[in-house]
Amino acid sequence: MSGAIDLGADCRIYLDTNVFVEMFERAGPVNKALTQMLALADERGVPRFVTSELALAELLVKPIEQSRHDLIAVYDNITVSNPFLEVVPVGRKILADAALLRASQKSIKLPDAIHLTTAAHAGCRYFLTADRRLKATAQVEILHLDDALSVALVEALKNAN
């Protein structure tokens, strides 16, 4: 992260798939902060948080393998657009731009390229992730999830609301 988190009125934050895993499958201070972060999401008419429909496919794999119907239901419900979260469909333009991103950054995997491209298309300033391999793009700044960032994000949201 290059500096302080600025969550002005039009600031949007992309939630990578691993953020949902942290929220719903882990315990601890990061989990607590993420839960608080979603609770602070104001209803501004435009959701503050964004993710891709791709997240649903990624989130369901382990719960299906483990027959965790409780998690399947949670992920199915959370990955529907609502007042605090916009779920963006994976369309041709996003896929084409993800291919361009992969062509310019050979180390990036296709799902990550789709997520980063979706964030850019949705006008997100920040991309929240636990994946330390991901790097910022020209359009999106990466926020790597950890204890300190979680606290800073919650504080920034409190101040923005």
Residues contacting 143, CB < 8 A, separation 6+: 1, 5, 13, 126, 127, 128, 129, 149, 153
Of 17, 99, 30, nearest to 60 (Cα)? 17
Q: How far apart are CA 160 and CA 67, in angstroms?
A: 40
Which residues does the chain have with pLDDT short of 70? Answer: 1-3, 9, 42-46, 147-148, 151, 158-161
Predicted local confidence at residue 45, as pLDDT: 58
Predicted local confidence at residue 2, as pLDDT: 46
Residue 7 belongs to some domain of the structure: no
Structure token digits, residue 34: 């993420």
Q: How far apart are CA 133 and CA 111, in angstroms?
A: 13
Q: What is the pLDDT of residues 35-78, one digit of tens each?
A: 887 777 765 556 789 999 999 999 999 999 999 999 999 999 98
- How far apart, in Å, do the first and last CA atoms of the chain sit? 22
Residue 1 belongs to some domain of the structure: no
Predicted local confidence at residue 147, as pLDDT: 63
Residue 133 belongs to some domain of the structure: yes
Predicted local confidence at residue 1, as pLDDT: 42
Residue 5 belongs to some domain of the structure: no
Count of domains for the chain:
1
Residue 8 belongs to some domain of the structure: no
Predicted local confidence at residue 36, as pLDDT: 80
Owning domain of residue 24: 13-160
Q: What is the pLDDT of residues 68-81, one digit of tens each?
A: 999 999 999 989 98
Predicted local confidence at residue 98, as pLDDT: 96
Q: CATH no. for residue 53?
A: 3.40.50.1010
Residue 75 belongs to some domain of the structure: yes
Residue 97 belongs to some domain of the structure: yes
Predicted local confidence at residue 156, as pLDDT: 73
Predicted local confidence at residue 48, as pLDDT: 83
Predicted local confidence at residue 122, as pLDDT: 95
Residues contacting 128, CB < 8 A, separation 6+: 13, 14, 15, 16, 19, 143, 145, 153
Residue 4 belongs to some domain of the structure: no
Predicted local confidence at residue 46, as pLDDT: 62
Predicted local confidence at residue 58, as pLDDT: 97
